[in-house]
Structure 1
Amino acid sequence: MDRKITINTEKLPRHIAIIMDGNGRWAKQKGMLRAFGHENGTKSVRETVEACAKLGIENLTLYAFSTENWNRPKLEVDTLMKLLVSSLKKELPTLKENNIRLNTIGNTNMLPENAQRELADVIQQTKQNTRMVLTLALSYGSREEIISAIRHISEKVKNNQLQTADINEQVLAQHLYTHNLPDVDLVIRTSGEQRISNFLLWQIAYAEFYFTEVLWPDFREKDLNEAIISYQNRERRFGKTSEQIK
């Protein structure tokens, strides 16, 4: 049965964030190198992005490379960076065709120069697109993001541009990488692991979580639909009681 028919298009999450986990285990199960898993994971990215756009999801954020991932073996990191560049070149026509704008968060200055150039080019070529914002979290760590925001706010206080009494949630949010994005409604993590892994700690304060055993290279549109259906079957109270929501 096509699970899309049970999705309420009037109750879609505005912002979905996905921790794409399991590429390495998927490759190991097949007796292949980890790079094989990463390469096949790009197929899941393409299908998920297109499915979200088709449904009407406004914002999709993918955890593509964390600050901690720099500690992986050099060969794997180099492979991931090459894959990033090739994927950006390959998927640009798809982004244009589907009216999707590319965005990025993280310390992207740490990326290789060719990756930075390709990323900047695709962002520039899609900046007028309006159907959906696809954000890639690259060299991203939420703790680093929050510390960076605090430093910027501290500088403003020091220079008398901001009073400490005026610092609130909105001010901090405005200094995060995601200042132009809404908070996350639904977090999906593949591969059965149930961790946040330093991902959007501030932005997921009231998000719903969905964990699936499916390894990322096997994640398909039906799996996305099941996550959204699960989200829609939950009651989001934001600290209120059920009676207040109703």
Structure 2
Amino acid sequence: MKEQLDRNNLPKHIAVIMDGNGRWAKQKGFTDRIFGHRNALKAVKEVIEGSGEIGVQYLTLYAFSTENWNRPKAEVDALMMLLVKTIKDELPTMHKNNVRLDTIGDIHNLPEYSQKELLSAIDDTKNNTGLTVILALSYSGKWDIVNATKKIAEQVKAGTLAIEDINESLFEISLDTKGIPNPDLMIRTGGDHRISNFMLWQLAYAELYIFENLFWPDFRREHLFEAIKDYQVRERRFGRTSEQVKMM
């Protein structure tokens, strides 16, 4: 399927909601959800390597939402340890594949050891020039919008910004995704038809692709290529008519 893709019509930025780890574990007969999270690492490698192979520039993985802090403490602690171990283990591969690591979200809420490992890896890969992998950690779209609003309000309060100068462009550069193009394609596994408080502003015109009967641990690069192939036959109008798009 990779050979069928139009390399001149690739999504610049793909966002992924990696859903279904717990249900996958239950399906396999395990009551511990962390079993699903551990087995999801293969899928993470596949989507990163597949994106890098074909020339996608940005890949954002919804790794841990602000709402996930409400999960059982044992699961959260295990996820944080898994995050640190994965970053350590994958750092040589990231360099080999010229991958740059970045993050969005309120990472100050992460345990100190997780923050340290994450920021070290980001700094270590900052000069890589290939695919940028963005981990959304302690992130939610509502948090991002509220945080951006606070930044703008502080400027107005300080007298460095007039209310009439507030516009979409200013708001966009106040978001945590400043400097990152908005996603062209959002992929979700697990069958749910919602964006789950993920990049609410940035996904305004993203194309959505839902895998109905596929949980994240079973995701492979062929599924990535399937979603991109579907994306390539869609007409992206951005509020225009089909006739206007054809004339552009």
Question: Shorter-chain TM-score category?
Answer: over 0.9
Cross-structure match for 2:222 = 222
Q: Percent identity?
A: 55
Q: Deviations over 1:193-216 (max 9, x none)?
A: 111110000001110000002100
- Structure 1 position 9, deviation (Å): 0.5
Cross-structure match for 2:181 = 182
Residue identity opposite 1:68 in structure 2? E
Query: Structure 1: 5+ residue runs without aligned partners?
Result: none
Residue identity opposite 2:20 in structure 1? G
- Distance in 1, matches of 2:122 and 2:205, equals 29
Q: Deviations over 1:161-211 (max 9, x none)?
A: 111111111100111000010011000000111111100000011100000
> What SS does the aligned partner of 1:214 have?
coil
> What SS does the aligned partner of 1:136 have?
strand
**Pairing 1:241–2:244 present:** no
Q: Deviations over 1:101-126 (max 9, x none)?
A: 10000000010111000001100100
Residue identity opposite 2:96 in structure 1? E
Cross-structure match for 1:159 = 158
Residue identity opposite 1:241 in structure 2? T
- Structure 1 position 53, deviation (Å): 0.6
> What SS does the aligned partner of 2:40 have?
helix
TM-score (norm 2): 0.97
- Structure 1 position 23, deviation (Å): 0.3
Cross-structure match for 2:76 = 77
Residue identity opposite 1:157 in structure 2? V
- Structure 1 position 94, deviation (Å): 1.0
Cross-structure match for 1:8 = 6
**Pairing 1:23–2:24 present:** no
- Distance in 2, matches of 1:148 and 1:34, equals 31
- Structure 1 position 47, deviation (Å): 1.0
Aligned length: 244
- Distance in 1, matches of 2:42 and 2:167, equals 41
**Pairing 1:67–2:66 present:** yes
Cross-structure match for 1:99 = 98
Cross-structure match for 1:191 = 190
TM-score (norm 1): 0.98
- Distance in 1, matches of 2:94 and 2:175, equals 25
Cross-structure match for 1:130 = 129
- Structure 1 position 158, deviation (Å): 1.1
Cross-structure match for 1:231 = 231
Moved >3 Å (runs of 4+) = none
Query: Structure 2: 5+ residue runs without aligned partners?
Result: none
Cross-structure match for 1:46 = 45
- Distance in 2, matches of 1:132 and 1:170, equals 25
Q: Deviations over 1:51-74 (max 9, x none)?
A: 101110000000000000000001
Residue identity opposite 2:222 in structure 1? K
